[in-house]
Structure 1
Amino acid sequence: MRFRRIPVRKIVRRTLLAVGAVQGATLAGLYLVDHRRKKNRAPAVFPRVPPRSTTAGGSEVTLYTYGEDVYADMLGAIRQAKRQIFFETYIWKSDAVGQAFKQALIEAADRGVEVYVSWDEFANLVVPRSFYRFGPKVMCKPHPLVGNWLRFPRSSGRNHRKLMVVDDDVAFVGGYNVGSLYATDWRDTHARLTGDIVWDMRNAFIDYWNLYPSKTLPTIADSGIRVWQPNIRLYRNVPRNMIYPIRAMYLEAIDRAAHHIYMTHAYFIPDEDMLRALVLAAQRGVDVRLILPEESNHIVADWLSRGLYGQLLRGGVRLFLYQHAMVHAKTATIDGQWSTIGTANIDRLSLSGNYEINIEVFAPEVARQMEEIFAIDSSNSRELTSEEWHGRPVMVKFSEAVLTPFRPLL
């Protein structure tokens, strides 16, 4: 019997097509499950922590874990502004909360305040274009849907930052986007800052605004720093300049940990170095705990993250899955000394792709408050055990393996 030889190229092509078909079917199945899940989701219920202030060197830090609280203070700051407002966000919905921010900013401009705003066009494709008409007095520079890749080939990242600075007096930064959903149904973390660090926040906005000159919009005058703030540092990922310090900040802090590491993250798809750093910390006796969403708003991100749970659990890292609400925070605290709050997730998009901003705080008082928040969030989470994880259905394990090639994309 003669066997017909099939060219290697054809075998490779058929194999790739088969793998692609399986991956496509898996993604389609996940999106179907996600659609049904969102349709039948009950109202969010989770423990709330009232805003509390503490000091860090020459600055005051107020932490928020509930959207309505931070929105009220941000709107209050806008309404009291006398000279200048810098406002930057990733998602800006056109619902009641989004309209309240828009109206407050327009009213500030009408009374003579210089108002500069920026948002990400890609993140707001579903928002009516008419919402982003502010009139001639508000200076708007949206982060473009498609950047000028020919002129600036490294400028493909999205602007994922959320910050606001008012009158050089107060600044806000953290994970909260602007919208009614986030006001009550999402558990996130934001910080209000006063004192010396406000200059750094102001400088971060000015540097971004001036990064891409416009023929129709003015540049903003820049000035050198007045006070070097040793207790709080600002880290900014700037794709245009190929600068990504937030990842290095995390790796350095994890490497120094001696007692505990508590991290809360919405989308957790670490690279090999980050994964190894956490496991090595756990193996040298550090209590490493992660709070992650049981179900996030991005089901594919969930499944890509789940593919790493086995390595984390085998390495001694404890995983806690947040219940009954979407946890969107991007925070960590280590050894009662070090904390970070900001916009960067632990994934490739945030750590080596997007414009992001995090504060790094060296203050036991802030760390203590972060630990209290972590404890309350842990009370609304269930711990994932190795026994439960390894006992999941074979089909689930297969689906996770099929999606592994997509991990570097997120």
Structure 2
Amino acid sequence: MPARRRNSTIPVSVQVDWRRVRRFVGRAAALAAAVPLTAGAAVMITDKVRGQRHPLNATFPTARPSTTEVDETRATVYTFGADLYEDMLAAIDGAQHTVFLESYIWKADETGERFKQAVADAAARGVDVYVIYDGFANLVVPPAFYVFPPQVRVLRFPAFRAGLLTLRIRNSGRDHRKILVVDDEIAFVGGYNIGALYATQWRDTHLRLEGPAAWELRNAFVDFWNRWRNPQLPVLQDVGAEHWQPSLRAARNAPSDLVFPIRGIYLDAIDRATSHIYITQAYFIPDRDILNGLLAAAARGVDVRVLVPERSNHSLADWLARGRYTKLLRGGVRIMLYQGAMVHAKTATIDGRWSTVGTANIDRLSLTGNYEINLEIVDPGLAAELEDVFRMDESNARELTYQEWQGRSRLNKIAERVLEPLEPLL
């Protein structure tokens, strides 16, 4: 008997039209992406209108610059932009050998012009001047503003990088650093960009170093310059460090090289806390490990406080940050909402011993995407200074309670969920 042939034809009733499936999946994916993107755009437009009606221009408490000695280096804390800018400009005016200036944003306003003139004057008297600015952050600035005299060497960090189209954050992040180093002896770092708005209307924190620890910021500038310079720009000499100062070190994120120490210093310090943790952040969207670290600290009795703007200049960041509030408040972390003005500082102090001041926010973009720099300082004197600053800022903040947070509107709760997929962008 001949073998029976198996019918391999799929019955019509169960055949699958893969073209339709692909179209359906594609449309579903597009819809899934469109919903949070549309919601995000709506939130930003709404908050922009609200911001025009209620600008963040209220007065806020500040303190005069205060100085403490850290391991043979004088460290000065600034909480008001106008004070900082005067001392930065005075340092540039007094430069005899070198000026290294790096800024994420450099506005073409009166304050920006003062800095531009200062570096031009320094170059004219024979000082070697090197300038770095971020191309993307300054797209709204007229290109003519960045035309310097030929003696000023200028590195424009590319506005658009290869990872932007594929959303590969480590290959598309920005140069978010703010550094000034003069004559290898005086150095500044912190949250302040350059512009009139930041001089008087934003609460930020910057640190000035005078002494051997200035090398930390010089070295950071030199390494970045040599990494990103074009062939027309000279190589800067790496001089090495004559002094080792373990109590004051710079942590530098370099995403293209997969180097992210700032996140590490936060995690290590939070894990060590036994008394208190005071964090001030402009945009606070902690990842799972940092969130869990703060919750674990609170659970073992540490007084954990996070101070953030009640309304920042980036509304989407505010909404994404609120997605963490339920866990934080329920876990005993206290949230302080800064009132009436933008607080842009990126600082923390723990147990009266450990502190950090720098450029990195606690969010995905800063900790794994942008070039950032934070100083890590283990010193009770500087910790005391920053605790005083934190208490000053608390005097202009209100505490968000768990009961108040639970009573927010259902619409707000829905918006937080809808916007959550946009978190990788920040």
2:83 corresponds to 1:69: yes
Deviation at residue 25 of structure 1 after TM alignment: 3.5
Write out per-residue CA displacement over residues 282-312 of structure 1, whole angstroms, 9 at most, x where no aligned residue: 0010000000110000000000000110010
Counterpart-to-counterpart distance in 1, 2:318 and 2:162: 32
Q: Which amino acid aligns with 1:28?
A: A
Query: 2:396 pairs with 380, 384, 400, which one?
Result: 380
SS of corresponding position for 2:188? strand
Q: Which residue of 2 aligns with 1:162?
A: 178
2:56 corresponds to 1:40: no
Counterpart-to-counterpart distance in 1, 2:39 and 2:336: 26
Q: Which residue of 1 aligns with 2:11?
A: none
2:140 corresponds to 1:103: no
- After TM superposition, the structure 1 stretch with the greater mean CA deviation from structure 2, 302-311 or 140-149, is 140-149
Cα 1:18–1:217 shift into 2, 3 Å: closer
Write out per-residue CA displacement over residues 345-370 of structure 1, whole angstroms, 9 at most, x where no aligned residue: 00111101111000011111100111
TM-score by length of 2: 0.91
SS of corresponding position for 1:367? helix
2:148 corresponds to 1:131: no
Deviation at residue 409 of structure 1 after TM alignment: 2.2
Give 1:242-391 correspondences, 5 Å limit. Answer: 242-391=258-407
Query: 1:85 pairs with 99, 108, 126, which one?
Result: 99
Counterpart-to-counterpart distance in 2, 1:139 and 1:21: 44
Q: Which residue of 2 aligns with 1:233?
A: 249
Counterpart-to-counterpart distance in 2, 1:147 and 1:405: 23
Contact kept? 1:264, 1:331, Cα under 8 Å: yes
Q: Which residue of 2 aligns with 1:30?
A: 43
Counterpart-to-counterpart distance in 1, 2:171 and 2:23: 38
Deviation at residue 196 of structure 1 after TM alignment: 1.3
Counterpart-to-counterpart distance in 1, 2:51 and 2:309: 15
Query: 1:113 pairs with 113, 124, 127, which one?
Result: 127
Counterpart-to-counterpart distance in 1, 2:21 and 2:141: 49
Counterpart-to-counterpart distance in 2, 1:225 and 1:166: 16
Q: Which residue of 1 aligns with 2:418?
A: 402
Unmatched runs of 5 consecutive residues or more in structure 2: 1-15
Deviation at residue 48 of structure 1 after TM alignment: 1.0
TM-score by length of 1: 0.95
Contact kept? 2:185, 2:212, Cα under 8 Å: no
Unmatched runs of 5 consecutive residues or more in structure 1: none
- After TM superposition, the structure 1 stretch with the greater mean CA deviation from structure 2, 14-23 or 180-189, is 14-23
Write out per-residue CA displacement over residues 31-83 of structure 1, whole angstroms, 9 at most, x where no aligned residue: 22222122123433111111110011111110001100100000000001111
**Number of residue pairs matched?**
404
2:220 corresponds to 1:207: no
Q: Which residue of 1 aligns with 2:156?
A: 142
Cα 1:401–1:206 shift into 2, 3 Å: same
- Considering only CA atoms, is the larger Rg found in Structure 1 or Structure 2? 2
Counterpart-to-counterpart distance in 2, 1:264 and 1:248: 18
Counterpart-to-counterpart distance in 2, 1:163 and 1:213: 17
Deviation at residue 13 of structure 1 after TM alignment: 4.7
Q: Which residue of 1 aligns with 2:7?
A: none
Q: Which residue of 2 aligns with 1:222?
A: 238
Q: Which amino acid aligns with 1:277?
A: G
Cα 1:264–1:368 shift into 2, 3 Å: same
Counterpart-to-counterpart distance in 2, 1:147 and 1:18: 27
Cα 1:228–1:138 shift into 2, 3 Å: same
Counterpart-to-counterpart distance in 2, 1:213 and 1:341: 27
Cα 1:181–1:13 shift into 2, 3 Å: same
Q: Which amino acid aligns with 1:327?
A: V
Cα 1:394–1:53 shift into 2, 3 Å: same
Q: Which amino acid aligns with 1:170?
A: I
Counterpart-to-counterpart distance in 2, 1:355 and 1:93: 20
Deviation at residue 84 of structure 1 after TM alignment: 0.4
